[in-house]
Chain A
Amino acid sequence: MKQFISFVIKEAKHILRDKRTMLILFGMPVVMMLLFGFAITNDVRNVHTVVVTSQMDHLTRTAVERLAASEYFTIVKTVPTPKDAEWMIRSQKADLAIVFAQDFASKKSGAQFIVDGSDPNMAQQWTTYAQQVVANPNVSLISQKLLYNPRMKSAYNFVPAIMGMLLLLICAMMTSVSIVREKERGTMEVLLVSPIKPLMIIVAKVVPYLLLALAILAVILLMSATVLNVPLQGGLGWILVVSLIYILLALSLGLLISNIAHTQFVALLVSAMVLLLPTVMLSGMLFPVESMPTILQWISAIIPPRYYIQAMRKLMIMGVGIQEVWQEVVILIGMTSLLLVVSLKKFKTRL
């Protein structure tokens, strides 16, 4: 046991000594959280709007004033013809144009929204918002309710995703690189001939990264609760349990990579290409899985972060109990045990 602890201490010293890597390890979550939490938003806000009208009658003016007063639209200019408006949209000076017909006031004809469709979702949202603002239906038959995220903050969606990405990155990449580095430098041999069991060496390597991952998890959760105001609806206990399963999964992935790779460069490349890219692209982090072609949906079914992110969205944001996420948890446990068994089987005690 004493030997084991001294191995853990040795490994922790390795990590702590590399100041620059430590800075990046803790700086990255903070910067990512700030960027995704504040800057990367799909909110409808400050949409530059051109008004196209030949005469400003009373009704047109009220409609325009209503638009200008709303927090979503900024009126940049009033132009006489739709052609001018189109030119402004094309040169990016405006996103949306509202064309009022000559006899708008007499309600014989209406208004037309000309919208820059290059970003399809935003185009859709801008017109919906503009329609609502201009039409201003006092009595509506249809009421809409946005559950869990009434202010539609993007951070709610991104925080669980960032957790899924960073934990995988730190646990899998750092562990595999640190083990392969020992192999590359030849120090692994020295460790293997020492009286401690080979399995213990690996466990001792993994423990500091486990602690590091937990520390980073704490940083992320603290930041999301205090700075980003993302509520932790579900119980903290279950969030931690599911995260722990996921961390174990990532660590066993790291072990597996370290068994396959012989040089640091290959380990880095494998973690970046095989882990990071699919995680960002296919896990539903940025792009919803159900909009992908079927083949890609199948591929995404074997990507562990997908289940973790799903589970975290449910536990953290929707605040449901553990019984609603048992499917994801079972899949994660299954994947973890599979990876653990495979990586331990493949672990060679002789180089």
Chain B
Amino acid sequence: MIKYLLQKEFLQIRRNSFMPKIIFIFPIMVMCVMPWVMNQEVKNIRVDVVDIDHTSHSQQLVHQIEASNYFIFNGQKATYQEAMKDIETSKADIILEIRDGKYLIAANAVNGTKGSIGSAYLSQIVSGRSALPLGLSKNLSPLTSHLSPLVLYNKLQSYKVFMIPALMGILMMMLCGFLPALNIVGEKEKGTIEQINVTPVSKWSFILAKLIPYWIIGLVVLTLCLVLSWLVYGITCQGPLWLVYLLAILLALFFSSFGLIVSNYSDTMQQAMLVMWFFVVCLMLLSGLFTPVRSMPDWAYLTTYINPMHYFADAIRTVFVRGGGLQAIAHQVLALFCIAFAMAVWAVQSYKKNS
């Protein structure tokens, strides 16, 4: 029985002029364009230098600023007020003022990350200079020179490494969550679901037949993503590959059950779309895919305990970027499994053959 239902679903997907495009072209577009866009790297910071002292080493400093990848030297200004004018018109992002052998770094911190990282980079350059034998270095804390950072896993500090696992999660969510929900509500709207309800097809085989095609599509797309990230960006999975698939399957299970629940409770496509969209945005923003969860206030942090996307984000980054094994993500896998299972039970329970 289920074999014929599956055949029907695949036929319907293939016949639709829009679906095959969205299934294959959309992920390729996302994988080829998004990693370039989703880049919070701080670079091209424009610096104004205000040199009240007029010493020769401020010239050297300017050279160093020009040589650095992060900064663009915008110009020397006579006074701090003049430089402030540049900040106000957004011609410059940071002012470096040198007065009486002291340095003041004033950064435009409307974008807090950019401001603080920019001023941290600049102070590294400046303190590197003062360490030169100018009789100034003794004033700096002797410890500073003994503190060295070591960056693990993402040695080149590339945002692409950070974002590609997140994109995989987002794609799985779109394909396995939105598409089945729209499909089922579409059948409701057209009234064809009634016809299936009067056949002896059991609840289980109907649901499975609806979801299995999207799980298969999701896994194909995931493979496509892995291949693309290897071909286009040269980024490969550091940990065991089967764990990536395991996580993807669990996430797909969650999102397809979620889609099913939403479609069971709504009558039109527009309703289902809006409700899904609302929950998905919340799940995604609060998951730590983009910002660290531990920076959140406590009430928001509590929600991450039931947010499957959070467990997925943690686990897939551990496997894909950090190269951890099953042991390292056992806790996340278990949590993801429990949440997905609970949702699946709810989804099957809420589906009624008689309306």
Binding site for B on A (CB under 8 A): 20, 24, 28, 31, 35-36, 38-48, 86-87, 89-92, 95, 107, 109-125, 127-128, 131, 134-150, 152-154, 156-157, 281-282, 286-288, 290-293, 296, 310, 313-314, 317-318, 320, 324
* Residues of chain B with a CB closer than 8 A to A324's CB: 88-89
* Residues of chain A with a CB closer than 8 A to B115's CB: 146-147, 149, 152
CA distance A110 to B327 in the complex (A): 33
Interface string of B105-148 (1 = CB under 8 A from A): 11111111111110110010011001000001001111111111
User: Is B112 a contact of A153 with CB atoms below 8 Å?
Assistant: yes
Binding site for A on B (CB under 8 A): 33-34, 36-44, 87-90, 101-117, 119-120, 123, 126-127, 130, 136, 139-155, 157-159, 161-162, 271, 274, 278, 282, 285-286, 290-292, 294-297, 300, 314, 317-318, 321-324, 327-329, 332
Of B38, B113, B123, B332, which contacts A42 at CB under 8 A? Answer: B113
* Residues of chain A with a CB closer than 8 A to B37's CB: 281-282, 287, 292, 296
* Residues of chain B with a CB closer than 8 A to A320's CB: 88-89
CB-CB under 8 A for A147 and B87, given A107-B146, A291-B39? yes
User: Is B143 a contact of A125 with CB atoms below 8 Å?
Assistant: no
* Residue on B nearest A86 in the bound complex, by CB: B152
* Residues of chain B with a CB closer than 8 A to A143's CB: 102-105
* Residue on B nearest A137 in the bound complex, by CB: B141
Nearest Cβ on chain B to A154's Cβ, whole angstroms:
6
User: Is B329 a contact of A116 with CB atoms below 8 Å?
Assistant: no
CB-CB under 8 A for A89 and B148, given A35-B286, A292-B39, A296-B37? no
6 CB contacts below 8 A, A to B, read: A39-B297, A140-B141, A143-B102, A287-B40, A296-B33, A314-B90
* Residues of chain A with a CB closer than 8 A to B292's CB: 42, 95, 119, 122
* Residues of chain A with a CB closer than 8 A to B291's CB: 40-42, 154
CA distance A111 to B328 in the complex (A): 27
CB-CB under 8 A for A141 and B119, given A91-B328, A124-B157? no
Of A46, A122, A150, which contacts B109 at CB under 8 A? Answer: A150
CB-CB under 8 A for A149 and B110, given A281-B34, A324-B88? yes
Nearest Cβ on chain B to A227's Cβ, whole angstroms:
13
Nearest Cβ on chain B to A267's Cβ, whole angstroms:
12
* Residues of chain A with a CB closer than 8 A to B127's CB: 141-142
Among A142, A149, A288, max chain B CB count under 10 A is at A142
User: Is A46 a contact of B295 with CB atoms below 8 Å?
Assistant: yes
* Residues of chain B with a CB closer than 8 A to A144's CB: 104-107, 119, 123
